[in-house]
Each structure stands twice: as structure tokens, then as C-alpha cells.
Amino acid sequence: MSFNSSEFKRQFPLFSHPENRELVYLDNAATTQRPAAVIAAISDFYSRYNANTHRSSHRLARTATAMVEAVRERAATFLNARSSAEIVFTRGATEALNLLANSIASGLQPGDEIVLSAAEHHANLVPWQMVAARHQLRLLFIPDVNGQPQLQSLEQVLSPRTRVVALSAASNALGFRVEVQSLRARLPAACLLLVDASQLLAHQPVDVQALGCDFLVGSAHKFYGPTGIGLLYGRSAALAALPPWQGGGEMITRVGLYDSDYAAPPHRFEAGTSALAAIAGLGACLAWLQAQDRQAMAVYEAHLNRYLHAELQALTQVMPLKLLTRPEHNVGITALVPAPGSSLAAVDIGHWLDEQDIAVRVGHHCAQPLMDKVGQAGSVRISLAAYNDRADIDRLLGALRQLPLSTPATRAAGLAGAGFGDDLGGIGLHELSQQGSWQKRYRQLTRWAALLSAKPEIRLPQNLVQGCESEVWLTHHCSGERHRFAIDSDARVIQGLSVLLLLLIDNKTSAEIGALDFDQIFAELGLEKYLSPSRSNGFRALLHQALQHVQG
């Protein structure tokens, strides 16, 4: 059976809205869009039977309780669990992993070992770091090649003290699959196998019994479901052995003043009121997804991913771009970076694509150790879903071919005076305000970028601006009553915006700077999006840090 991407896409209301009809959405590894069935189920819960679950005798509560337990049954079927009691609802994979790390670690002894990989999402790394420090556990990492775990070398890190092996089934940053199904037979009997399937569930059916895992986690919003709800599968015996992580209502059978008795799994791990509307949406998502031809979807996505990689590989032959990924054994993720020596930064590419209504993600993707392994601070991540098509890929390719590359690749050497004193006397704000379109304003910013001199001497940890996609350094001193600033970055858009910021605040008094309305100035220049908190390009963080220096 062939897969029809156009018919599939028509099930997603977001794409039918006028403001989104030209949107190319390629940020699916972060979150997928929702089909109408999911949106309708959430609305139906709130409009028809909104009530808290369990321990209430009225009709609405009974209906809501029945819905939650029916979704639990459906989730068990979706994952091929043996029982619905093996399904715990969490707020997402991150909460599920924190639950498991804390509950498992409470029963371990100092010196016990946790085996991970360098490719883990921070959600499957930081919780283990935290409990390892608290309980004196050892973290060991599977040998890797460019961050990709080499499972044939697993035995090198296993020992009689190995208690947990926790691995992602697919990398959220580079897309490669990890053959977790081969692991159970190779692990010590006392070792728990935990699988983070967050990047896998949208792309193929998952059978927890075939995997042989003790625990598996996933976030619904990554496989067409609602935000705020996740699945934790736990093998019955493994779940029963764990103490609860959070305390509160519904996870107890008896509460006294000095002690309590806890409910059996799964309710032992569901303290407080669950995200009930999200659970209703999850149930609709699971029913909808199981009604799709999953095999045909997977074949279609694989073909589209090969086309994307082939076209981008050809593009790298004529443009200063580099691919970090391959399409083989890949869940639909492509990572692209500027080639060495390029005048571009990854964030420049992301901003350029956003201006053309192409949604990708730029950064280390909460996988910083993996990006360190491949020698990159971050990448442009392009991630596919079944509603994408070749026209989306062709729009992306066309936009990349138009990347502004005219700015010189090198900037002037740093000037004397601890990096202060960029010569900006020959330019003015009117050069931006006179530009008639966003493309022209963008190119003007990239021309200004060349005016910001390189300042290696200020690239110190204490000068690094926090909260930026790309690295930006800022220093400040006062010359009499006037504030002097020096800024450096490798991202051309940030360089250009830094020149604009220096035009506004450098060599000005506190009173002069305090009189400026930055939101109004940027709106008049047609650049207000760069001050939007939702646009995480770091310029707002740079402006905030500069103003903190002014205020004292």
C-alpha cells in the first residue's frame, strides 16, 4: 500500500490556517503537529466531561476515570505491554527519566554503575549525574565513534556492579538509530535496561516485549500527541520493586500522621491530578496512529530522508555547508553546519530560513556532549514527519541556495584598548530604515557584520552572554560618564545586530541610554522580532546584559 502525504497532511488543522499555508515545518524532532482527532478529543474532555478522576461518585468523575483507564489500556496495546498496570502517565519523557533515576538510585549501593552513551539527550544524562553524585554511583559510557555508541564494545564497560544501562533508541541530534533490541541477552541478570524511545515512536511501532527492556519512556508531543503527557512503561516486577518518587494524593492507600501505605503500580507513581485533557488527547492520538499504515509511512519517510540527504550533499559541493548525518538507519533527522572557514554560523542559516517561513532548529539540541564529540557547538537540524514532501525539501534547498554569502569571511584584527573602539562613524540607522524589505534589511545587517572587529582577547568565560543560540561575548567599562562596550561573535546576524546595538548605546551616558525605547526603535526598523522572547537568537540576552552594566 502506498502512502499519500497530501491526504495525511490534510488531517492537521495548523497547515490550513492562512498564516501557515506557506509554512514549511521541519522541526518535528522537537515537536510534531497535532491531527484534528487529537484536538477534538481535548476539546471534548473540557466541554463534555471535565472532572477530576478517582474517589468521586458523580457521573462526570466516573466518565473521566473510565477515559483515563481506557487510554492506559490503549497505551499498553500500542507498546505491546502485558498489562495496563505497566503503563504510568507522566508529564513527558523528562519527568519519566527523573522518576526512574531517583527511584532506582534509592536502592543502589555506593560504587554501583550506570552505563550510558555520549549521545544521550540531557534528559537521560543529567538525572543520572544528579543521583550519581547523591548516592556515590559510577557513570560509565559505551565507547563511541564520533559520538555514535559502538554496541559491539558494550562488554568493555559492563561489570558485576552494572545496575542500569540507559540508552536512547535514536539520537535526537543526529538521527542515528541504536540497536537496543540486541542488548537484553548481553546484560547481567541484575542489570535493568532502560530505553528512551522519544525519537522512535513517531517513526515505527515499538514492542517492549520484543525489546526485552525493563523500562521505556516517550513524550506524546513527539508522535503527534499533546504536550504535557508522556508514557512510562515498566515491566511489572521492575515497577513493583521501585519506591515512589513523588508523594501526594492518589498514590496512597492509607495516610497516617507519621507514615503512609502506597498504592500498587501504576498509581504509586502518579501523585496529584494528572493532565487529564492531555490523556484524552493521547488516547485519540494512539487510536489515530494505530489506524495509519505505519509500514507505508516508514517507507515514505525513508525515501524522503534519502532525497533530502542526496540533495544537500550535492549542495555542499557548491556552497560552504557540511552534512553531519547520513540517511541510513536514520529516523528522519539531518544535521547541517557551515563548512570550516565559512563566514556563516549555524544560527545565521536558521535565521535566514525563518525569514522564509521554513521552520528548523539551531543549537546543540540538548545533546551537548554528542555535539562536542563531532566538534560542533551546534547544528541546523532538519527533522521530517510524514506530512512533509519533496516540495518542502525543494523550498528548503532553494532558500539555502540564496544564503547571503557576500560578507567577507574575515574581519579586521582586534583594535587596541582591550577590544574597544570599533570604527562605526561612517554608518547610521537610516541605512536600515531605508531598506524596503526584510531581505534587504537582512543583507544590510550582514554587511554591517564586517565592521565588528574580531576581539579574541575578550573571549573569556566571564564575558560570555548566557541564553544565546550562538556564542557572544560582551565587555564594558566607563570612560568618565560614558559607557563603552565591546562585543564579539562568530554569527553574522548577531554581529550585525551588535553593530546596531553599539550605534545606540556605545559612548553614551546612562541618561541617554535610559531614554531609549528599544522595542519602538526595532519596530520602526522592521526588526522587532529580534527582541521577541520567542526568538531565541540571543539578541535580547545581549541587550539585557548590556543594560545591566549601564544600571550598575
pLDDT at 532: 65
Classify residue 46: in a domain, yes or no. Answer: yes
Amino acid 392: pLDDT:
98
Task: Give me 120's grid cell.
Answer: 544521550
CATH of the domain at 226: 3.40.640.10
pLDDT, tens digit, 9 for 90 and up, residues 358-382: 999 999 999 999 999 999 989 999 9
Between 99 and 439, whose confidence is greater? 99
CA dihedral (534, 537, 542, 543) positive or negative: negative
Please give the pLDDT value at position 468: 62
Provide the domain count of the chain.
3
Q: Name the residue among 338, 336, 302 with its Cα closest to residue 493.
A: 338
Same-domain check for residues 84 and 177: yes
What was the pLDDT predicted at 338? 94
Tell me if 528 is assigned to some domain. yes
> Residue 165 has what pLDDT?
98
Give the angle 399-404-408 at the CA atoms, nearest 5°: 155
Indicate if the pLDDT at residue 418 is higher than 60: no
Same domain (yes/no): 197, 227: yes
* Domain CATH for 322: 3.90.1150.10
> Which tens digits make up the pLDDT trace of 102-146?
999 999 999 999 999 999 999 999 999 999 999 999 999 999 999
Within-domain flag for 377 = yes
| Domain end point (choices 240, 273, 290) | 290
CB-count exposure of residue 49 (10 Å: 0-12, 13-18, 19+):
middle
**Do residue 267 and residue 297 come from a single domain?**
no
Q: Would you state the pLDDT for residue 432?
A: 85
Q: What is the pLDDT of residue 419?
A: 42
**Domain-embedded: residue 86:** yes
Distance in angstroms (rounded) separating the CA atoms of residues 45 and 477? 58
Confidence of residue 6 (pLDDT cuts 50, 70, 90): very high
Q: Both 286 and 298 in a single domain?
A: no
pLDDT at 245: 95
Could you tell me if 222 and 82 lie in one domain? yes
Other CB atoms within a 10 A radius of the CB of residue 334 amount to 26
> What CATH number is given to the structural domain containing 436?
3.90.1010.10
Distance, in Å, from the CA atom of 421 to the CA atom of 418, rounded to the nearest integer, reads 9
Most confident residue range from 57-61, 77-81, 445-449? 77-81
Specify whether the CB–CB gap between 509 and 461 falls below 8 A. no
Q: 290, 310, 335: which is the final residue of a domain?
A: 290
Ranges of H-type helices in 86-150: 93-105, 126-135
285 as an active site residue: the answer is: no
- In sign, the C-alpha dihedral spanning 16, 17, 18, 20 is negative
| Same domain, yes or no: 98 and 167 | yes
Instruction: Kindly state the average pLDDT of the residues 79-85.
Output: 98
**Cell numbers 535526537 label which residue?**
172
Q: Is residue 423 part of a domain?
A: no
How confident is the model at residue 59, as a pLDDT? 93
Q: What is residue 466's predicted lDDT score, i.e. its pLDDT?
A: 82
Closest Cα partner for 418 from 393, 382, 455, 443? Answer: 455
Q: What share of the chain is helix, strand, coil (3-state, %, to 5)?
A: 40, 15, 40
* Residue 471 banded pLDDT, cuts 50, 70, 90: confident
| Per-residue confidence band for 246, with pLDDT thresholds at 50, 70 and 90 | very high
> Where is the domain boundary, 290, 314, 336?
290
Q: Do residues 270 and 299 both lie within one domain?
A: no
Contact 539, 497 (CB under 8 A): yes
414 pLDDT band (50/70/90 cuts)? very low
Min mean pLDDT across 156-165, 220-229, 365-374, 537-546 is at 537-546
Residue 1: predicted pLDDT: 57
**Structural element, H or E, at residue 347:** helix 346-355
Residue range 481-486: mean pLDDT, rounded: 92
Would 417 be classed as within a structural domain? no
**Average pLDDT in the 145-170 region?**
97
Q: What pLDDT does 38 receive?
A: 98
- pTM of the entire predicted model: 0.86
pLDDT of residue 537: 58
Top pLDDT among 377 and 212 is at 212
User: Sheet containing 192-196: which strands, arranged edge to edge?
Assistant: 87-90, 230-234, 215-219, 192-196, 162-168, 113-116, 138-141
Q: What is the per-residue pLDDT for 415?
A: 38
Average pLDDT, the chain: 92
Give CA–CA dist 257/20, Å, rounded.
Answer: 56
Q: Judge if 134 and 247 occupy the same domain.
A: yes
> Is 90 exceeded by the pLDDT of residue 535?
no
pLDDT at 12 over 50: yes
Say what the pLDDT of residue 347 is: 87
Asked if residue 248 belongs to a domain, the reply is yes
Same domain, 219 and 355: no
Q: Which domain holds residue 447?
A: 430-551
Are 146 and 59 in the same domain? yes
Q: Within a domain: residue 368? A: yes
- Average pLDDT, stretch 292-320? 96
The answer, yes or no, to whether residue 531 has pLDDT greater than 90, is no
Same domain, 102 and 163: yes
Angle in degrees, CA 62, 85, 229, rounded to 5: 70
Lowest pLDDT segment from 256-270, 375-389, 414-428 = 414-428
| Catalytic residue, candidates 191, 213, 285, 366 | 366
pLDDT above 70 as % of the chain:
95
Task: Report pLDDT for 406.
Answer: 52
Residues 302 and 243 placed together within one structural domain of the fold:
no
For residue 536, pLDDT beyond 80: no
